[in-house]
Structure 1
Amino acid sequence: MRDYIRSFNAMIRNNQGFTLIESLFVLSIFLIIASITAVLVKPHFFYFEKQIFFSQIKSDLLYAQQYALTHQTDVVVQFLPDQHKYTAQVKLGSETIISREYSPQFEIRKGTMPLYFQYGPSGNTNKFGSFYIMAGEERYLITFLIGRGRFYVAKE
């Protein structure tokens, strides 16, 4: 045990530690790697934000349609681009089912269809056509088909 303590004390006495220049060198390498990583992550962040936005809007529209079917009522869906928001409300009771705000990076524009429509008790929409969503420089088209209230999102 004494030999261990002696060798430990000898190691402590001989250890000089790191110099200031060595510490600054390691810190600068760390900062360079961290800044490069931050620059490379930004495009991926917008990509994931875009994926989440479209996934959310599809889910909300399907939920509004299912609500109209299961409660046998009319559900009005309205997009408010100046407020960066969309809502779904029961027509007669004005009960808000969905009220969702979205990022200002997305811009919703009227196309062949106005930015409001209604799901009937059968799940059909009262209007059909399409409207545009601008996500950065990319343009997407949400199209509602005649018939069963089906819709799809396509990149232009």
Structure 2
Amino acid sequence: MRKENGFTLIEMLIVLTMISVLSMLVIPKMDALIEKKHIDYFIEQFKDDMLYAQQYALVHKCTVTVVFSLQQPEYRVMEGNVFGRLLLHRTYSDNMKLQLVTLQSPLIFFPNGNINRAGTILVHYGKQTYQIVFLLGKGRFYVQKL
């Protein structure tokens, strides 16, 4: 009688059970990581879009208007005024909420790179909240996690 080396069915089931139990412990932690990546991606994209609007105003010596939609999850960047040429249209997740606290829409970048008024925007996504503060003088802004 020849003995073959291999795994029995019971051994395979034990290993598969251990793998499934370990994966069940790891998956709930992935939700928090995915939520963090969503908000991080939005914040980086938003910062890049605002810097693009400022740079476009400086290079082309024109005003650039950023309009935040309160009804839909989107904002638009336009050359000139609200009805000017569309430079950028950005949509984001329905679960993400932009709250204009002291900043009023539209945000205007003048040809010298300055903004028309200072203000604050809150970004809510899940349990996370970020504050975006626009400062007067060269259109600077910063992002802070609350």
Which bracket does the TM-score occupy, shorter chain normalised? 0.7 to 0.9
2:133 equivalent in structure 1? 143
Question: Which of 71-80 and 92-101 deviates more?
Answer: 92-101
Identity of aligned residues (%): 34
- Secondary structure at the aligned position of 2:15 is classed as helix
1:73 equivalent in structure 2? 62
- Distance (whole Å) between structure 1 residues aligned to residue 99 and residue 76 of structure 2: 16
Question: Shift of the alpha carbon at 1:75?
Answer: 0.9
The higher radius of gyration belongs to: 1
- Secondary structure at the aligned position of 1:121 is classed as coil
Measured against aligned partners, the alpha-carbon deviations of 1:14-47 in whole angstroms (never above 9, x if no partner) come to 1064332222111111211222221222211212
Question: 5+ unaligned residues in a row in structure 1: which ranges?
Answer: 1-9
**Structure 1 stretches (4+) deviating beyond 3 angstroms?**
none
1:24 equivalent in structure 2? 13
CA-atom RMSD, angstroms? Answer: 2.0
User: TM-score if structure 2 supplies the norm length?
Assistant: 0.87
User: TM-score if structure 1 supplies the norm length?
Assistant: 0.82
2:95 equivalent in structure 1? 105
| Matched pairs, number | 145
- Distance (whole Å) between structure 2 residues aligned to residue 146 and residue 16 of structure 1: 75
2:28 equivalent in structure 1? 39
Question: 5+ unaligned residues in a row in structure 2: which ranges?
Answer: none
1:5 equivalent in structure 2? none
User: Given the alignment of the two structures, is residue 130 of structure 1 paired with residue 120 of structure 2, yes or no?
Assistant: yes
- Distance (whole Å) between structure 2 residues aligned to residue 111 and residue 70 of structure 1: 30
* 8 Å contact from structure 1 (residues 74, 121) kept in 2: yes
Q: Which has the higher helix share?
A: 1
1:54 equivalent in structure 2? 43
